[in-house]
Amino acid sequence: MTSNLPIAGCLIPYLIQAKEDTSANAKVIFSPDDINRLGSVIVQIKQQKEKSQPPNTKYFETILSDSKHLYQAVMMQQFPTFSIIKISQFQVQKSKGYILNATCEQLNVGQSLIGSPVLINFEALDSKAKQPQPTPQPHTKPVLSLPKSQSNNNNNNNRQDPSAALVDPGLANRDVMPISQLSSSTTDFCIEAIVRSKGPVRTWSKATSSGSLMSFELSDANGEIKATAFNEQQRQFENLLEVGKVYRFSGGHVKPIDPKFNKLAHPCELSFGTQTRVLLMENSNVKISYEFRRISDISELTAGTKIDVVGVIIDSQDIASVNIKNRSEPTPKKTLSILDDSNTSITVTFWGRAAQKLHSETKKNDVIVIKSAQVSDFNQKSLNCGDGTVFEVEPTDIPEASNLKMWYEKNSSVIEQGVSSLSLQSGMKTGSTLSTISNLRRVTINDLVDQKQKGNFANQTPQKALFLKINCYISRIRSTSNDKLVGYYNSCSKCKKSRTTEEYCEHCQDHQLPVKQYKMFMRIQDQDDSASAEILGETVGHKLFGMKADEFFAKSSAEQDDITAEQLSRMFTCTVKVSEYSGNIRYNIITAEPTDYAALAREEDYELVVSRLVVQNLLS
């Protein structure tokens, strides 16, 4: 019966015979009869590169693997990467040991490179070289013993833990390669790394295949890399690896990343297969490496970039549950505002298990170190942290965290007066709204109207909204019904989502009574023009009307009119979010503060100099 796995060393007898051939021929030909005599040749395609030779000859430079050795070949046929092939006749170039003009049959296609093969040393081959040995079938692989604590547990079970097959005590004696030195040409390696994170199990199903996978992020003192295990290996690694522990890894395929699915800085990633082996290193001193970015520098980074950051927690929202599309259960969410010694703050949102862990470990004024936070354009600029993020609160062995702690304790009484925030602070409790507004460019309403007519806001999707600053007053509040102002919606007090019934929340099934949130359309006006805008939520409405929506809409119509009339003559400095939705340009007031006329006076002739140019500059 033909094996569907590479046969280790199967080409060595042929290379030796070719090397020892004394004829004048440059090549030695091996026929099917020779192969019947010397042994079957079953190998795996590691890689192929298409080449051409005049006039119209196409061939493929190929690397073949027998699971222990790599061989160079020139082939006329192209096969999918990791294909298992059986060679029925071929030639060997006597001077270099290249495999030429092979006649092949494809047996199957593997998911990854089998084993950890190294390039064959043709010059060192002699007749004493070992004869080929078939690669063991999966069901005949020896099961290595687990550490004692795990072995004792197994004595109580009727079957061996399948993860035991991955454990190789021999890795303790291997030389270790830094993660930063792994490349797509690396064929044999052993790395020692901390398991920084384990992603969720993901499954796929299509016409040609189905299965499951799990990804891990590994880190040593020199770098980080993503690793993925599939199907049976996924189940083994899921049970074996623990986040925060250090292991040695050997065997697997090193391949270039797909930037669409991997945002780490390393240009390669690992694919764990049947030949991958692991060993827990109990006394290792490997620690997570950090490459910190100052918060002030984040404004220049594109969305999706992953960074390391350290900051002091200056504000924190309660943990909440939100509904996310395509997920059956609400997802935990917790939002912080952090500050570093660039005197700049940013909003950081933790999701899922990270949010739950963070909720129990942090408090205001703690220093938090975050590994692999993802930059987002939400609320102008913010950071997202999920299952792939690692964080430490109040670490004692990270100099950058200790230095920041000392800086904040020494200067905390004066720091927040000059804080600049990269994030719009809607929903946060800090007093940093004014500093947020001060970071934005000032325009007039006439600029908004002009740029809208020119079509310059057409590409401002909600995810890429434009944020501008306007000095204006409210000239009219729209949306009335039966002489009573209607400007609110009912929201859940727990998950904050909109509710259509008073009995329970459709999103989180909470049975508390809903609370009102402001939702008003109004006309805003400055010295040049006017425009329709909307306020949504508690923050801005409370700032404008001096009370929560529940209190405001519990008043009589006359009382509401008195309150709104009082605001119609007041000047506000507003942050306006400009976005396009379903073909319509929308202006949402995100923040509002009474105008600081002294600060306004210090801005030299902004109406004449800045307001006509700033939108064009922002859009260019």
Query: Tell me: the pLDDT tens digits for 210-252?
Result: 788 999 999 888 888 999 998 888 888 888 888 888 999 998 8
Evaluate whether the domain defined by 440-619 bears CATH number 2.40.50.140. Answer: yes
β-pair partners for 334: 350
Evaluate if residue 370 carries a pLDDT over 90. yes
What is d(CA 368, CA 315) in angstroms, rounded to the nearest whole number? 12
Mind listing the pLDDT tens digit for each residue in 157-195?
A: 444 455 666 888 889 888 999 999 999 888 889 999 999
b/e map of 63-77 (b: 16 or more CB within 10 Å)? Answer: bbbbbbbbbbbbbee
Please name the amino acid found at residue 264: L
What is d(CA 75, CA 219) in angstroms, rounded to the nearest whole number? 39
pLDDT band at 428 (very low <50, low <70, confident <90, very high): very low
CA distance to 40, 42, 83, 351, per residue, from 105 (Å):
12, 9, 10, 50
Mind listing the pLDDT tens digit for each residue in 479-538?
A: 544 445 567 888 888 777 788 777 777 777 777 888 888 888 888 888 778 888 888 877
Q: Which residues does 562 contact at the CB level (< 8 Å), separation at least 6?
A: none
Percent of the chain exceeding pLDDT 90 equals: 18
What is d(CA 268, CA 184) in angstroms, rounded to the nearest whole number? 7
The radius of gyration of the chain's CA atoms, rounded to the nearest angstrom, is 33
Mind listing the pLDDT tens digit for each residue in 54-87?
A: 666 788 889 999 988 899 999 888 898 889 999 9
What is d(CA 567, CA 581) in angstroms, rounded to the nearest whole number? 29
Q: Which residues does 259 contact at the CB level (< 8 Å), separation at least 6?
A: none
Please name the amino acid found at residue 446: N
pTM to 2 decimal places: 0.47
Give the angle 259-263-265 at the CA atoms, nearest 5°.
100
Q: Worst-scoring range by mean pLDDT, 270-284, 285-299, 570-584?
A: 570-584
Q: Worst-scoring range by mean pLDDT, 33-47, 113-127, 286-300?
A: 113-127
What is d(CA 131, CA 363) in angstroms, rounded to the nearest whole number? 65
DSSP percent split of the chain into helix, strand, coil, nearest 5: 25, 35, 40
264 close to 152: Cβ distance less than 8 angstroms: no
Both tokens of 45, joined, read 């395609």
What confidence score (pLDDT) does residue 144 get? 32
What secondary structure does DSSP assign to 469-510, as a single string?
EEEEEEEEE--EETTEE--EEEE-TTT--B-S-SS--TTT--
Helix, strand, or coil (residue 598): helix
CATH number of the structural domain 303-432: 2.40.50.140
Q: Please indicate whether the domains covering 7-137 and 440-619 agree at the CATH topology level.
A: yes
For residues 102 and 330, the model is more confident at 102
Centre a 10 Å sphere on the Cβ of residue 155 and count the other Cβ atoms it contains: 6
CATH topology of domain 7-137: OB fold (Dihydrolipoamide Acetyltransferase, E2P) (2.40.50)
Evaluate if residue 208 carries a pLDDT over 80. no
What is d(CA 196, CA 218) in angstroms, rounded to the nearest whole number? 5
Percent of the chain exceeding pLDDT 70 equals: 79
Strand ranges inside 303-366, DSSP E: 306-316, 320-322, 331-339, 344-351
**CATH assignment of 165-204+211-280, given 3.40.630.30, 2.40.50.140, 2.40.30.10, 2.60.420.10?**
2.40.50.140
b/e map of 87-96 (b: 16 or more CB within 10 Å)? Answer: bbbbbbbbee
Domain definitions of the chain by residue range:
7-137, 165-204+211-280, 303-432, 440-619
What confidence score (pLDDT) does residue 348 get? 94
